[in-house]
Amino acid sequence: MWEKIRVVWQIPELRQKILLTLGLLAVYRLGFQIPLPIADTEAIKAASQAGGIADILQTVAVFSASSLTQVTIFGLGIMPYISASIIFQLLGSVYPPLEQLQKEGESGRKKINEYTRYATVVICLIQSWIYVNAYIVNMGLVDAAYLDVDGNLGFGWKLVAVLTMTTGTVFLMWIGEQIDEFGIGNGISLLIMAGILAQMPAAGMDLLKQATLELGGGPGGKLGIEQLMLLAAMFVAVVVGVVYITLGQRRIPMQSAKHVRGRKVFGGTRQYLPLKVNQAGVMPIIFASSLMMIPSMIFTQLAKVNWVEGSFLDTVFGWAGGAFTFNSFFYVMFYVGLIYFFCFFWTAITFNPKEVSDNLKNYGSFIPGYRPGKRTSDYLEKVMFRITYVGAGFLALVAIIPTMISGSLGVSPQVASFYGGTGLLIAVSVAFDLVQKIDSHLVMRNYSGLLE
Cβ(395)–Cβ(339) under 8 Å?
A: yes
Overall CATH class of domain 1-198:
mainly alpha
> What is the pLDDT at residue 216?
61
> What is the pLDDT at residue 15?
85
> What is the pLDDT at residue 403?
76
Instruction: Please report, as a single letter, which amino acid is at residue 331.
Output: Y
What end-to-end distance do the CA atoms of the chain give, in Å?
A: 10
Burial class from Cβ neighbours inside 10 Å (0-12, 13-18, 19+) for residue 39 reads: buried
DSSP designation for 50: S
> What is the pLDDT at residue 122?
92
Cβ(25)–Cβ(194) under 8 Å?
A: yes
DSSP designation for 65: T
Which residues of the chain carry a pLDDT beneath 50? none
CA Rg value for the chain: 25
